[in-house]
Amino acid sequence: MRSISIFGATGSIGESAFDLLMGSGGPKTWRAVAVTGGRNVARLAEMARALHAEIAVIADEALLPDLRAALAGTGIEAAAGTQAIAETADRPADWTLSAIVGAAGLAPGLRVVERGGTLALANKESLVAAGRLLMATARRTGATILPVDSEHSAVFQCLDGDSLEVVERVTLTASGGAFRDWPLERLAQATVAEASSHPNWDMGQRITIDSASMFNKALEVIEAHEFFGLPGDRIEVLVHPESIIHALVSYVDGGTLAHLGPPDMRHAIGHALHWPRREKLPLARLDLAALGSLTFRAPCETRWPALALARQVIAQGGAAGAVLNAAKEQALDDFIAGRIRFTDMAGAVAHALDLAAGRPGFGTSPDSLEAVLEWDAQARRDAAAWQTAAA
């Protein structure tokens, strides 16, 4: 029986994974080691009970008594806090899903890689903030990292083990998010509610707003650079409003392979869950005749300045990814809290990158979790102070 753990079980990706696990026999097929959540005790306890997990961990320490009460009599261990989540990653499991949102996902994911485990990585922020560290650790320990982000899963599936030497370029598609067709001058007035509605994908609020600002695709370009080891100028972004083609791989002989599927994350999660085999998944099948047509356009860098920031970060290397990721998280918090406008987020991130570039050690990739977190904390302060600096 294969053992599994889910970090970020109560989120959008976690729920999709849970659905696949329960749909394929639940505890009869899988031995669940750990499930973790942020604050939703009731749902976490429900999932732990359904999967007969060994341990459930909630991030908010104040919620430990509630979690204990919800698991009373089940024999399932309860724990709480960021440290407990990281330590839980040391418990052996054959397959671990990293689906916490933001830089908080880095510590547990890194620990899975340090013990040589298999990490199904939805948390793209880990690769953006600490790509070199994560990939070098995986090489050292023999850990396997499997992409769960749909575009990267698509590239991985198209590549099918091909060497990068025969790959001319990789194209990541982007739906364009909520404001794809808005007049540019309206963007500054965009509300949090408007930015939180995605035309095709049903995802957590943060990634949905990141899709509207294209910061999600900016993170994904960096993620592709770190994960596949491709230079930035061989990674393209293509706006594809229907979200049916998730990525394309173009080869030196002029041929291009595309990966297609309905916009449902259970495909990429299921692929990583069963890799290197393919299993029947209970998902909608593609009906191209019903769709009729697929459309494409080049991304507009005026509408989406985040894309240029991703290129800048790849060119800078070193700590730039950790800075961009943290500054973006801070800017997003500030937008959600109503402190800055939608269009201010890119300015705050650019400001944090400018300041970081003047600090000693910026050109060197952080080689420990602590080093990543130092750049992360400074970048959050810089991004938060941007308004004052800009005034």
Residue numbering of the annotated binding site for NADPH = 10-13, 38-40, 123, 125, 204
User: What are the angstrom distances between the C-alpha of 303 and each of 119, 151, 298?
Assistant: 35, 22, 12
Cα–Cα nearest to 66, from 37, 87, 105, 89: 37
- Contact partner at residue 118 from ligand NAD, Mg ion, none, CB < 5 to 8 Å by partner kind: none
Q: Are 98 and 109 in contact (CB under 8 A)?
A: yes
The nearest distance, CB 150 to Mg ion, in angstroms, is 5
For residue 212, what is the enclosing H or E element?
helix 205-213
In this structure, how many other beta carbons lie within 10 angstroms of the beta carbon of residue 181? 9
Q: What is the dihedral of CA 163, 368, 154, 150, to 10 degrees?
A: 180
- Residue in the shown chain whose Cβ atom is closest to ligand NAD: 11
Q: What is the CA radius of gyration of the chain?
A: 20
Chain residues binding Mg ion by CB under 5 A are 149-151
- Contact partner at residue 122 from Mg ion, ligand NAD, none, CB < 5 to 8 Å by partner kind: ligand NAD
Please identify, among the stretches 6-14, 111-119, 167-175, 345-353, the one whose residues bind ligand NAD according to the rule CB under 6 A.
Answer: 6-14
Known binding site for Mn(2+): residues? 149, 151, 220
- Contact partner at residue 270 from ligand NAD, Mg ion, none, CB < 5 to 8 Å by partner kind: none
The nearest distance, CB 268 to ligand NAD, in angstroms, is 8
223 binds ligand NAD (CB under 6 A): no
Q: How far is 138 from 329, CA to CA, in rounded Å?
A: 26
123 binds ligand NAD (CB under 6 A): yes
Residues 142-171 that bind ligand NAD (CB under 6 A): 149-150
DSSP character for 368? S
The nearest distance, CB 149 to ligand NAD, in angstroms, is 5
Place of tokens 């019903």: 290
Cα–Cα nearest to 121, from 18, 21, 6: 6
The nearest distance, CB 97 to ligand NAD, in angstroms, is 9
The nearest distance, CB 245 to Mg ion, in angstroms, is 13
Please identify, among the stretches 198-206, 289-297, 321-329, 382-390, the one whose residues bind ligand NAD according to the rule CB under 6 A.
Answer: 198-206
DSSP character for 234? G
User: What are the angstrom distances between the C-alpha of 65 and each of 57, 69, 80, 163, 360?
Assistant: 12, 6, 9, 51, 45
Binding mask 26-45 toward ligand NAD (x if CB under 6 A, else -) reads -----------xx-------
The nearest distance, CB 212 to ligand NAD, in angstroms, is 14
Cβ closest to Mg ion, residue 153 vs residue 378: 153
In this structure, how many other beta carbons lie within 10 angstroms of the beta carbon of residue 253? 8
- Contact partner at residue 59 from ligand NAD, Mg ion, none, CB < 5 to 8 Å by partner kind: ligand NAD
Cα–Cα–Cα angle for 237, 240, 245, rounded to 5 degrees: 90
DSSP character for 343? G
Q: Are 304 and 214 in contact (CB under 8 A)?
A: yes
Two structure tokens written together for 376: 């992360």
Residue choice 35, 107, 122, 327 for contact with ligand NAD (CB under 6 A):
122
The nearest distance, CB 8 to ligand NAD, in angstroms, is 3
101 binds ligand NAD (CB under 6 A): yes
203 binds ligand NAD (CB under 6 A): yes
Q: How far is 310 from 322, CA to CA, in rounded Å?
A: 12
Enumerate binding residues for ligand NAD (CB under 6 A): 8-14, 37-38, 59, 85, 99-101, 104-105, 122-125, 149-150, 201, 203-204, 206-207, 265
